[in-house]
Amino acid sequence: MGHQFINLILIFVFFAIQTADAGETPHKVLTLPCESCHVTKNWQDISFDHTTTGYELSGEHKKIACVSCHNLADFSQVQANCNSCHTDVHRNRLYPDCERCHMTQSWIVMDVQKAHGNTSFQLIGRHANLDCWTCHRGEVEGEWRRLSSNCIECHKNDYLAATDPVHDDLGFGVLCEDCHSLFSWKPATFKKHDGQYFPIFSGEHAGRWESCTTCHYDAGNYSTFSCFLNCHEHNQAATDREHDDVAGYRYDSNACYECHRSGKGDD
């Protein structure tokens, strides 16, 4: 009789424990077996193969608790788009898929050049090494406004500070790429000079000069030039004899240019 009573008590306790455990589970309608997530050692150690859901956890996502994204009652489907969990600090001004610029390891932009490649302005040369704030001055974090791609918008101070030659005084254009490369301010090469004024990168004058001042002796006025100061070895007497049969000849650089626009001596 005593043994039967003890057995009855044990059975009652067993079912009481099972009922209590079942009532305390936070997963109200979850049908997965417990071992899909839990280990027998304790309830706290959780190991779930998230790749089976079609969304692999990497970086910081692997460290966060399940409840950060899921409702424990049923683990209902969570949207895979970033905005479902993360506040869009860009306020819909940029792309909704954060991975275009960011990694799951951190919010630091993984590849600025690649990210900027989605815009109308490619980061090439020196631009590729700049901090975002160098150009996006005064921006509130995350609110990257579209900037003008005109060089002068960022390089006005460089333009005004140029002394050899003095760009502003000479009325130089503000398209830096006409003379400069994206990798360095120097050397500067005005390739349009051949077509607009006089062939110095091609023809007989290619390689015959070192800098603009070789011909343009007045740093404050590039409309003036000399064919004789640093270029041609001819003295006036020799040049006069060579042109003694040329009507209207005069020993003057502008006169030389009027006759020899192609840079050839036999024009």
* DSSP output for 86-147: S--TTTTSS-S-GGGTB-SS-SSBS-HHHHHTTSSS---GGGGGS-HHHHSTTPPTT--PPP
Kindly state the tokens that stand for 56: 């692999």
pLDDT string in tens for the chain (267-residue length): 555 555 545 455 444 444 444 446 778 777 788 888 888 888 888 888 888 888 888 888 888 888 888 888 888 777 777 888 888 877 777 777 787 778 888 777 767 777 787 788 888 899 988 877 788 876 666 667 778 888 998 899 999 998 878 888 888 889 998 899 999 998 888 888 998 899 999 988 988 888 888 888 887 788 889 888 877 666 788 888 889 999 989 999 999 899 888 888 766
259: helix, strand or coil: helix
Region for 246 from its dihedrals, namely left if φ exceeds 0, alpha if ψ lies in -120 to 50, beta otherwise: beta
Global pTM value = 0.53
Omega before residue 26 within 30° of 0, cis: no
Residues ≥6 apart with Cβ < 8 Å to 188: 179, 180
Nearest one of 254, 240, 170, 181 to 212, comparing CA atoms: 170
